[in-house]
Amino acid sequence: MTIKEIARLADVSISTVSKIVNNKDSNISPETRNRVLKIVKDYHYTPYSGIKSNPESKTFIFGLLLKSLRKTGKFIDGALAAAQKSGYSILIYESMENTENELKNIASLCKNHVDGVIWEPVNEESLENRHYFEEQGIEVCCFNSREDPYSCFIDFASMGYYAAETLIQYGHTKLGCLTKHGSFRSEMVLDGFKRCLFDHSIPYSSSMNLSVETEDWYSCILTRTHTGIVSTHYASALNLLEHLSKLRFHVPSDLSLISLRDDARENIDFPGISSLRIPYYEFGSFICSRLIKKCEKQEEEPSAFHMNFSLENTESLDLPFTAHTKKIVVVGSINIDVTLNVDELPQPGRTVSTSRHSVIPGGKGANQAVGAAKLGNEVSLIGRVGSDYDSSLIYTCMEENQVNAHGVKREANAETGKAYIHVQNDGESMITILTGANKKLRPEDVISCQKVFEHSSYCLLQTEVPESAVETAAALAKKHGAENILKPAAMKAISPSLMKLIDIFIPNRKEAELLCPDIPDVEGKADEFIKQGAKAVIITLGHCGCYVKSPSFQGYLPASPFPSVDTTGAADAFIAALAAYLSSGYSMEASARIAAYAAGFCVSRQGVIPALIDRNSLETYISRTEPELLNLRQ
């Protein structure tokens, strides 16, 4: 620091600075004197201090000029160890991420005539002060500086690549990266994360970048949009675990997690996060050794820092959730639901009017597929849509809800099915179906999709598509070891050959009456369906619950206490949840009781697909009202 620079900082003349530092300041005001003296002390200025008596003399002292001392303990330890091994001492300075403090520290390092400096610049402009070191003949090794071509870095991108690849090896393809805004580390890890996805042909989308500054991405984890997470900071991973535990979401069974770990304080056994240790100690030692070589004229070419990474444990890693539950196949109707809210249902000879309506994807097949997917299952839907604009709405809806729609094909010269639904104020509904492309589903269409039946646990069937296609699907499901659940709709008879393929038959009271008009009571109708070939029967009774007859349980179960807004999708929500929890190992009784809650959630809101509940919300509610129910696995 020169007298000219001191004068500029103090906004006085050079002669004024000279008079003050040489005690010839009798005519200078106290305010000016104090201001100049403070700057002189802050920047360690002494007259002629910039001239070394012997420019070649060595002090065997290094400076360590850090942007911040926070979480740099291991880095400092590594640098100190390397310095002491070669006979050097280190002076440690912290800029506290402030350029003014940084310049003061540079002045102090120059005053102490250090041999070299390990420097983490505060920002890009900081490098403009490098000339102070150069004028003193002080060697410099920068790190974490994008503007210095010789700056050293920890290869966070490779760590991000390694972490993402580890999750992919565990079978995850729905990945997310938990980052901090403005963090250099997060930027580099995310770059490696993206590169790994590209190399494994997994498309990257902006929704995979999960910023800790927002919380809107939590719903993506709860609905299993992401099944594996890479966290750039260990504290963020801990916060995520705490948040998920409150929502009864478990690591690693529900979510796999890998985090970078950057300090000895985080070397803890609980809660057992699979972590990659950031090699700060080795990095500090590397940079110090590089500086020693520069000072002793040993380094030929600047080398980059490299280190192999390995997981410290695998406690928070597991297969994706869907790998623990077998697939569910749904074969059935796909419609656009046009819902009209009316004060009273239409009657012959009377006109009713409405001021509220909605148009959303639906149909028993689509409803059940989305319902099962929201409950955490891998679901494939087989059906037909038209060659119209409505079909695009169907495909978009299935994609948004994580339903495999490869078995949904467009039918040329046909329109997508429509359901015209009148909903009364008390939730009761009346439905008129325009079958459209649904009636075009053929047995050969189902056979062409038989691959999706492999490793499936349940096949959900409805009779709003041709019975021949339904029976073909039931036979394929049996061939691959899956059980069939059939929901009859608007049928007066079901072929005996189809009934013999049905494991769980689920009519409502009116459908049971149509199929068994001569048997007056619910129990008798259930017995008749068993005689016809069904292995188990559940007759849904609206607000009165349901009657179950199965080898493991027989009896009535109550409905859940939810207000009725729209009963349209109650059965679909019930069936989806029944299949999901049977697949998860729950008994028939427990699954039906859980399914009643899912149906209750659905009827309490308008529409069907928007009203279907996700697994976490469902289980959170049940854990507060009937917690023992979630422990009734077989």
Catalytic residue set: 572
Sign of the CA dihedral 568, 569, 575, 581? negative
Question: Which token pair is 601?
Answer: 């959630």
Contact 560, 625 (CB under 8 A): no
Number of Cβ within a 10 Å radius of residue 527: 15
Tokens of 499: 């009934």
Bridge partners, 458 (sequence order): 328, 483
* Pairing assessment for the beta strands 139-142 and 175-179 based on DSSP bridges: unpaired
CA–CA gap between residue 15 and residue 33 (Å, rounded): 12
379, 330 contact by CB (below 8 A) = yes
**If residue 7 lies in a helix (H) or strand (E), which one and from where to where?**
helix 3-10
Cα–Cα distance measured from residue 71 to residue 240, given in angstroms and rounded to the nearest whole number: 21
What length does the chain have? Answer: 634
| The token pair that represents 84 in the structure block | 């002491």
Name residue, tokens 């039946």. Answer: 453
What Cα–Cα distance (Å) separates residue 215 from each residue in 13, 30, 222, 489?
55, 55, 12, 42
CB-based contact 280:80 (threshold 8 Å): no
Backbone angles phi, psi at 417, to 5 degrees: -60, 150
Cα–Cα distance between 627 and 613 in angstroms, integer? 18
Query: What does the DSSP assignment read for 35-66?
Result: HHHHHHHHTT--TTTTS-S-TT----EEEEEE
CA distances 358 to 79, 336, 337, Å, are 67, 10, 8
Residues 6+ apart with CB under 8 A from 493: 515
Phi, psi of 526 (to 5 degrees): -60, -40
How far is CA 201 from each of CA 165, 196, 207, 360, rounded to the nearest angstrom? 12, 9, 17, 33
